Amino acid sequence: MRWGEIIRRLVLIPPTLFGVAVIVFVLLRVVPGDPIAMMIPPGATPADITRLRAFYGLDQPILQQFVTWFGQVLNGDFGRSISVHQGVFELVLARLPATLELALLALLIAVGLGLIAALIGIHLRGRRMEWLVDIGIGVLLAVPDFLWALILLLLLGVLIPLLPISGRIDPQLDISFHSNFYLVESLLTGRFDVADALLHHMILPALALALPFAALVARILKTSLAEAEDQDYAQIARARGFSRPEILLREVFPNALIPTVALGGVQATLLLGGTVLVERIFSYEGIGNMAIDAVINRDFPLIQGLVLTFAVLFIALNLAVDLVVTLLDPRLRHG
């Protein structure tokens, strides 16, 4: 990607986010159910309800509401949560690191597992055992992440209670952190016992997110490796006296990596979206879990803030993928 292309992409971000904001804002208000209905105590009079609606500005026309809200957003004020009575920005910022750490761990596990599966698959290429790898990948791919969450929870949390099944860290532990990146912070400050406790809590949700994505990575990488191995330059390397492992590593892998990052990277948005349900299942305190609460409470400002946050993450991910692909493929650098 050339600089012009990068700038073009950056320029496109604000209109994209604006579009997302409009859609979410309008949809929330068109769909039946509003936050007031969720918060009024039994026996509230219609007058109370009207007063509350006016207090939150929900009695105004949607366009008017949007202009007010968007004006605040432009000034960095994302409003206050109706159900939690705190600033949306602060709430999201406090929970975002938990989700980012979980997603990153899941991504690492997925790439690791996918890499191993793809390498075993390509090693067995053309032999009868190759079948097994393909079937394994197919099974992992067929079961969605939230189902894996339930399976893992029952298997390793209940039947064989090896791992904790809820939360980010034991509530009894009294540990203070300077940031909300608990895992990163504990690793950087050398508190490995804390990191270990955190990882124990993260491993099941991370695995649930990682398994389908690992299968996806494995399938794309294995196909790309096979394709690249059949290319002339790889065949000719054999005639130059290089062994198959040498050729796979040096000639084939760098080429197979390009489609794998391009396709797999975009699919990583699925993994990010998967955090919503998986965090809920494991009571993990990230923004995905928060999003479900926000929806249940019809907490309009919080939902809007969370959706925008996910939108920013998706855009950033796509941009990062394109940049990495450009780094991997010299043919793209010159346009």
Partner 1 sequence: MTPALFIQGLRVTIGAGTSAANVLRGVSLELQPGEVRGLVGESGAGKSMLGRAVLGLLPANAAIAAGRIAFEGRDLLAMREPERRSLLGRRIALIPQDPMTSLNPVKRIGAQVAILLRHHLASSRRAALQRAAELLAEVAIREPERVLGLYPHEISGGMRQRVLIAMAFACDPSLVIADEPTTALDVTVQRQVLQLVERLRQRHGAAVLFVTHDLGVVAKICRTMTVLHAGRVLEEGETAHVLARPGHPYTRALLAATPRADRPAEALRPVPPSLIENLWSEAHQFDRLAAAGPA
* Residue with token string 């992409």: 9
Tell me the C-alpha distance between 240 and 328, whole Å.
25
Q: Does 43 contact partner 1 by CB under 8 A? A: no
Would you say the C-alpha torsion 306, 308, 311, 317 has a positive or negative sign?
negative
Q: How far is the CB of 2 from partner 1 (least distance, A)?
A: 15
Are 288 and 99 in contact by the 8 Å Cβ rule? The answer is: yes
Q: Of the listed pieces 39-47, 141-149, 247-255, 295-303, which binds partner 1 according to CB under 8 A? A: 247-255
Among 85, 127, 128, 331, binds partner 1 (CB under 8 A): 331
Q: Does 235 contact partner 1 by CB under 8 A? A: yes
Q: How far is the CB of 203 from partner 1 (least distance, A)?
A: 35
Measured from the CB atom, is 224 or 309 closer to partner 1? Answer: 224
Q: Does 241 contact partner 1 by CB under 8 A? A: yes
Q: Does 335 contact partner 1 by CB under 8 A? A: no
- CA neighbor of 296 nearest in space, from 310, 312, 280: 280
Give me the half-sphere count of Cα atoms (radius 13 Å) on the Cβ side of residue 255. Answer: 17
| Structure-token pair, residue 97 | 């690191």
x/- letters, 126..165, toward partner 1 (CB under 8 A)? x---------------------------------------
Tell me the C-alpha distance between 208 and 149, whole Å.
5
Measured from the CB atom, is 174 or 232 closer to partner 1? Answer: 232
Which 214-233 residues touch partner 1, going by CB under 8 A?
Answer: 231-233
Q: How far is the CB of 120 from partner 1 (least distance, A)?
A: 19
Cβ-proximal residues to 26 (8 Å cutoff; 6+ apart), any chain: 62, 66
Ramachandran quadrant class, 85 (left: phi over 0; alpha: psi -120 to 50; beta: rest):
left
Are 204 and 149 in contact by the 8 Å Cβ rule? The answer is: yes
Measured from the CB atom, is 312 or 323 closer to partner 1? Answer: 323
Measured from the CB atom, is 85 or 331 closer to partner 1? Answer: 331
Among 195, 197, 258, 315, binds partner 1 (CB under 8 A): 258
Q: Does 243 contact partner 1 by CB under 8 A? A: yes
Q: How far is the CB of 88 from partner 1 (least distance, A)?
A: 45
Residue 141: burial class (beta carbons within 10 Å; 0-12, 13-18, 19+): middle
Among 141, 227, 238, 318, binds partner 1 (CB under 8 A): 238
Among 4, 190, 334, 335, binds partner 1 (CB under 8 A): 334
- CA neighbor of 328 nearest in space, from 248, 260, 245, 267: 260
Total binding residues for partner 1 by CB under 8 A?
A: 23
- CA neighbor of 181 nearest in space, from 110, 104, 111, 109: 104
Measured from the CB atom, is 167 or 245 closer to partner 1? Answer: 245
Are 325 and 258 in contact by the 8 Å Cβ rule? The answer is: yes
Tell me the C-alpha distance between 319 and 33, whole Å.
36
- CA neighbor of 262 nearest in space, from 218, 216, 322: 322
Q: Of the listed pieces 11-19, 166-174, 214-222, 251-259, which binds partner 1 according to CB under 8 A? A: 251-259
Q: How far is the CB of 167 from partner 1 (least distance, A)?
A: 45
Among 66, 89, 146, 242, binds partner 1 (CB under 8 A): 242
x/- letters, 107..126, toward partner 1 (CB under 8 A)? -------------------x
By CB under 8 A, name the binding residues for partner 1. Answer: 126, 231-236, 238-243, 250-251, 254-255, 258, 328-331, 334
